[in-house]
Structure 1
């Protein structure tokens, strides 16, 4: 799951990379645990990421008290429009005495970090939303520092991660839909934030499907945007967990569903996006695919449109213009586009999933159906 919701337009020119919440938490945990073992906080603190990068992080605040130490780092997401950019990632590390059984590293959700409440994610229900990647990085750091400095206490290590204000920030993410309640997730497989990463969005699509299937939903609705999502939910009455924010990534959705099928899939979007899908595009972004107006003109011709209308559509610039021209003649171009998009989706899924396609205009009205 990512904390970028994709509403911002990508700026031109080279983009600065950033660090994930997982990398920041690892840095803060490193500083706190080293202070417990040595009495000193390294500032700045350096860590080694899974792919070998060695970033350094200045500490925002530190506190050492007995068997507990706290350190924090301000997250820098680079040029990515991440809701956690400039958030404070606070890690408290506490040592238990060695009298009881050593349970290794135990993770806890502090203020602003969520808890998993639904099955389908990589974490069990009831676990803090600290993903496996960051957990592994923190565990490796603690193991390495213990070897280097020794842990005289010899007990378990409790790691609590907090993000002040995280519960409010989480409202801007899909965490609630995924069943992560109470705050944000600590994320990051590589530790590096790639600005406007397509892979992050596709990953969130996959996790949404996983949670929906684990929740028992046999019917999913995937939409290209908020207008079509709201409209299709109103028609179908599906729960939020059965809705998938597909965005432009029809291919990422359909190919994952081919391997992880459901009984029924409803695809919803505006005329331009669905027209691109109907023409075989799997990435519906304007930089990756364009509507073939000639193909739409041919569709209109096959429906019996006047030659003048057909020629006008060839010179049009949007699918919406083509639909307006069809509407003026009482022709169901929207249904034709939706049916063709359905055939493309069925061919990509290559299975038994039932598919229907709905096209909505900006006001949320249904203007095309194929099913």
Structure 2
């Protein structure tokens, strides 16, 4: 059996959560604390060794708490060093049955409780958690739960609510904290060179297809991809770029793309309007500065510009302007969409001579398409007209 070393490789947040939950469950069973937890991975015989900081019985031995810290390895990530608490308690199955209204959940061995700092879906109140995370929990903890019992697992991220403000979670309906949406154990960041190579490989595959029309859509991340397909875009024309937007634009032109649509959350794509074409927040984050600069260019009243500059996040600035001056907000964001198209074409021209048309479409925190650059609206065609109204 092979084991990874956490010194050499970084792991996603679900792995650290499951390690803490497993350590706490073992202590609740009366076993000694194991500071290094072996975690099984789905669809493989491999295990990884994950350190846990500490565990303790609490509430007169009826519950157990484990604490560890997220380590994404060499990858720049906001969860680096973030504290994780896993609180576990056994519950008799008949008690769990009484506490649940949904009959589909009666036979579940796990009752997952989103504690402080753990993101919830605003529409349902349920924890934002991936299938992969549930698979890890099933593989590593289910067999530890005594027969006739289920496990209450409360996950707490003490810094989660604060850190979530630096993400785009709210754009995808996740509030109150960080989501557990990892889809694999090992970290693969959208800022890594390997991600760019994958994008280029995807481009070549799509563009070499004899049925390729010449039109392509770039989205950032899984959430953008999901929304793009939901509103009616053909999946075969969509490529996830991660944060390598600039080099991906150049690669698209070199691959023979004729029309390219940039489709993304306004809080991310606004960076392009400021000439920032690698959008990872650790490398550059001047969104408020870009917003206020373009507000000046748009001729927005000075007192509003001063208010915008005092906001902590781009989302707060947008909400302030949209609530009090919706017409001005619309005018500004349309300006930003036009600027994204202009700056992207200018960026492309620095590296290659190309007539590729670049359009931009931006959606808001409610996943509603709101702002279109001139080329973006044209590329959307009839779909764009229906979404705009």
Are 1:106 and 2:111 matched, yes or no?
A: yes
Match for residue 243 of structure 2? none
Counterparts in 2 of 1:136-175, with a 5 A limit? Answer: 136-146=135-145, 151=146, 154-175=148-169
Q: Secondary structure at the match of 2:155?
A: strand
Match for residue 35 of structure 2? 43
Are 1:274 and 2:313 matched, yes or no?
A: no
- Cα deviation, 1:228-254, whole Å, max 9, x if unaligned, reads 77869x99xxx969x9xxxxxxxxxxx
- Cα deviation, 1:124-157, whole Å, max 9, x if unaligned, reads x1102233321221123222334xxxx15x2221
- Cα deviation, 1:282-337, whole Å, max 9, x if unaligned, reads xxxx7xx65467568xx9xxxxxxxxxxxxxxxxxxxxxxxxxxxxxxxxxxxxxx
Residues in 1 aligned to 2:335 and 2:221: alpha-carbon distance in whole angstroms: 16
| Residue 83 of structure 1, CA deviation | 0.8
Counterparts in 2 of 1:12-27, with a 5 A limit? Answer: 17-27=9-19
The answer to whether the 8 Å contact 1:72/1:91 transfers is yes
Residues in 1 aligned to 2:93 and 2:118: alpha-carbon distance in whole angstroms: 28
Counterparts in 2 of 1:228-267, with a 5 A limit? Answer: none
Residues in 1 aligned to 2:75 and 2:67: alpha-carbon distance in whole angstroms: 21
| Residue 42 of structure 1, CA deviation | 2.2
* TM-score, reference length from structure 1: 0.54
Cα distance change of structure 1 residues 274 and 160 upon mapping to structure 2, 3 Å threshold: same
Match 1:191 to one of 185, 194, 208:
185
Cα distance change of structure 1 residues 180 and 51 upon mapping to structure 2, 3 Å threshold: same
The answer to whether the 8 Å contact 2:117/2:156 transfers is yes
Cα distance change of structure 1 residues 352 and 58 upon mapping to structure 2, 3 Å threshold: closer
Are 1:91 and 2:86 matched, yes or no?
A: yes
| Residue 93 of structure 1, CA deviation | 1.4
Matched length: 247
The answer to whether the 8 Å contact 2:27/2:55 transfers is no
Q: Secondary structure at the match of 2:177?
A: coil
Q: Secondary structure at the match of 1:172?
A: coil
Are 1:130 and 2:162 matched, yes or no?
A: no
* TM-score, reference length from structure 2: 0.52
Cα distance change of structure 1 residues 28 and 224 upon mapping to structure 2, 3 Å threshold: same
Residues in 1 aligned to 2:54 and 2:172: alpha-carbon distance in whole angstroms: 32
Residues in 1 aligned to 2:220 and 2:353: alpha-carbon distance in whole angstroms: 31
Are 1:179 and 2:173 matched, yes or no?
A: yes
* Structure with higher RCO (Cα < 8 A, 6+ apart): 1
Aligned-residue RMSD, C-alpha: 4.3
Q: Say which structure is richer in helix.
A: 2
| Residue 350 of structure 1, CA deviation | 7.5
Match for residue 205 of structure 1? 224
Larger Rg: 1
Cα distance change of structure 1 residues 351 and 104 upon mapping to structure 2, 3 Å threshold: farther
Gaps of 5+ in 1: 1-14, 119-124, 214-218, 244-264, 280-285, 300-337, 357-371
The answer to whether the 8 Å contact 1:21/1:188 transfers is yes
Match for residue 205 of structure 2? none
- Cα deviation, 1:155-183, whole Å, max 9, x if unaligned, reads 22111111112111111111233232221
Q: Secondary structure at the match of 1:133?
A: helix
Query: 103-112 or 93-102: which moved more?
Result: 93-102
Residues in 2 aligned to 1:229 and 1:208: alpha-carbon distance in whole angstroms: 25
Match for residue 29 of structure 1? 21
The answer to whether the 8 Å contact 2:40/2:139 transfers is no
The answer to whether the 8 Å contact 1:275/1:291 transfers is no
The answer to whether the 8 Å contact 2:17/2:84 transfers is yes
Gaps of 5+ in 2: 1-6, 98-106, 200-218, 233-262, 272-286, 300-313, 319-332, 358-372
